[in-house]
Amino acid sequence: MTASSPLAEAPLGVFDSGVGGLSVLAELRRAMPQEDFLYLADTAHVPIGGRPDAEIRDLTARAVAALHARGAKGVVVACNTASAFSLSHLRERYGPAFPVIGLVPAVKPAVAATRSGVVGVLATPGTLRGTLLRDVIEQFAVPAGVRVLTAVSAELVPLVEAGQAGSERARRVLREVLTPLAQAGADQLVLGCTHYPFLAESIRAEFGDTFALVDSGAAVARHTRGVLCGAGLCREGGERGGVRYLVTGNPAAARPVIETLVGRGRHNVTVQQVTT
């Protein structure tokens, strides 16, 4: 472990286009309970998956710049779409002194775990359009002879953003897009968007144990801790850290959804509006 930097006491930034990255934030807090976090949700522009590639990169760059300006010591881009289009640009801009960590769809563990030889990926239009998912399929699934099937929906992210992850509408959409994967024999379902872990109960209600649900949150948290500690940026000791929640849209609309997803009554949730 590298000697601690003066920046070790600074918060770690976490960015998502909306509230989906809260699923990653939960894993980060489990892995690094002593850290403080700045969580920025670009709720003014969610969902971003259908936007042009250059606009996705611009929105992500603006969000990361806002976190950097507020004293973050690094950023986890907790959004599959933003990661697919922006990581190389961000790392070139900030360099190693400001770690930028992104998401990779959890195809590797799904391929290792499948018994049927068929893996499903539930993705957003943006993640499906980017090259990152194709790259990990080529790297891990193709050599193993595993068939990867994708399901895509533009409706699921807005439903989670609206606090309707358990609604009948969400379950109807999931039935429509995931039934072909179940019929094809998929036994692993990669949740290719940080919003989708919040749909786990609805998926299980519709499909029971048909799929093992696989996401990258815990792996990203372990990787983030390794990167921070390797750079002397881990905050060691002390009390459990806190979270500041920032949104680009209406904080009054975002607050009840955030409170529900992080656990109402267990957290003192204050949501601040910012401009990126």
Number of residues assigned to the chain: 276
Query: H/E element holding 121?
Result: strand 118-123
Q: How many Å apart are CA 237 and CA 259, to the nearest integer? A: 27
Q: Annotation-wise, does 81 bind a ligand?
A: yes
- Reference 110, options 53, 176, 191, 180; nearest CA is 191
- The three-state secondary structure class of 176 is helix
**Active-site residue among 101, 111, 152, 193?**
193
- The three-state secondary structure class of 210 is coil
Q: Nearest 5°: CA angle at 208, between 203 and 211?
A: 70
**Active-site residue among 79, 90, 128, 246?**
79
Q: Annotation-wise, does 153 bind a ligand?
A: no
Q: Annotation-wise, does 250 bind a ligand?
A: no
Q: Annotation-wise, does 195 bind a ligand?
A: yes
Q: Annotation-wise, does 83 bind a ligand?
A: no
Q: Annotation-wise, does 60 bind a ligand?
A: no
CA distances from 209 to 134, 145, 165, 213, 216 (A): 27, 24, 19, 9, 20
- Reference 214, options 131, 125, 140; nearest CA is 140
- Per the annotation, the verdict on 229 as an active-site residue is no
- Per the annotation, the verdict on 193 as an active-site residue is yes
Listed in sequence order, the residues at least 6 apart from 106 whose beta carbon sits closer than 8 Å to its beta carbon are 190, 191, 214, 215, 216, 219
Known binding positions for substrate:
16-17, 80-81, 194-195
Active site residues: 79, 193
